[in-house]
Amino acid sequence: MERRSITGRAAVVIAFGIAMAYLESACVVYLQRAVGLTPAHLFPIRDAASLQGLAGIELGRELATLVMLAAIGMLIGRTPLERLAWTSVTFGVWDIAYYLWLDVFIGWPTSPGTWDLLFLLPAPWAGPVWSPVAVSLALIGFGLAVPAIGASGRRVRLARADALLLGLGGAVVLVAFLWNAGTVLDGGVPTTFPWPVFVAGMVLGILGAAHAVRAARTDGHAA
Q: Is the pLDDT assigned to residue 36 strictly greater than 80?
A: no
pLDDT digits (tens, 9 = 90+) for 98-125: 999 999 999 999 999 999 999 988 889 9
Q: What is the mean pLDDT of residues 27-43?
A: 77
Sequence ranges of the domains in the chain: 2-217
pTM of the model: 0.88
Answer whether residue 49 shows pLDDT above 70.
no
- Give the model confidence (pLDDT) of 161-218 as tens digits: 999 999 999 999 999 999 999 999 888 889 899 999 999 999 999 999 999 888 876 6
pLDDT at 216: 76
Q: Give 154's pLDDT tier (boundaries 50, 70, 90).
A: confident
Q: What is the distance between the alpha carbons of residues 167 and 171, in angstroms, rounded to a whole number?
A: 6
pLDDT value at residue 221: 46
Which of 44-58, 88-102, 120-134 is least confident?
44-58
